[in-house]
Amino acid sequence: MRKPVYADSSTSGYVPANVVDGRNDTRWTSELGEDKWITIDLGRVEAFSKVQVNFEYPDRYYLYKIECSEDSFHWNVYADYSQKARKAYETRISVGDTKAR
C-alpha cells in the first residue's frame, strides 16, 4: 500500500513512509509528546470496513484514535482509545462501512 503519509513529527530512521511499506521490521516513531498524529492519503475516496494497526510492542497498551475523512477537513472518529488504552495485539479495528480518502 505505498501511499503518501504525513505526520506531525518523526524520529531519525523511523519516518512516516514506514507505516505503509508492508514490512514488519520498520515503523514510524513520533517525537515525544501528546496528541501526535499520522495521516495516510489513499489518493481517492475508497470504501473499507477495517483498519489494521501494528504496534512495536504487541503486549503493551496504547492510547490512540482512528479518524477518517473524505476531504481532509471533516473528520469522523471510528475508534477512540485516547482515554482508555487498548492492548496492541488487537490490531484489526472494525470501522463499519466507511469511505475515506
Going by pLDDT thresholds of 50, 70 and 90, the confidence category of residue 86 is: confident
Give the domain range for residue 92. Answer: 43-101
**In a shared domain, residues 73 and 27:** no
Angle at the Cα of 14 from the Cα atoms of 9 and 15, rounded to 5 degrees: 55
Average pLDDT of the chain, as a whole number: 91
Q: Which three cell numbers stand for residue 56?
A: 512495536
pLDDT at residue 96, as a whole number = 87
Q: Which three cell numbers stand for residue 24?
A: 514488519
**In a shared domain, residues 18 and 57:** no
Q: How many domains is the chain partitioned into structurally?
A: 2
Going by pLDDT thresholds of 50, 70 and 90, the confidence category of residue 92 is: confident
Q: What is the DSSP string of 65-97?
A: EEEE-SSSSS-EEEEEEEEEEEETT--EEEEEE
**In a shared domain, residues 49 and 90:** yes
Question: The pTM is what?
Answer: 0.84
**In a shared domain, residues 48 and 90:** yes
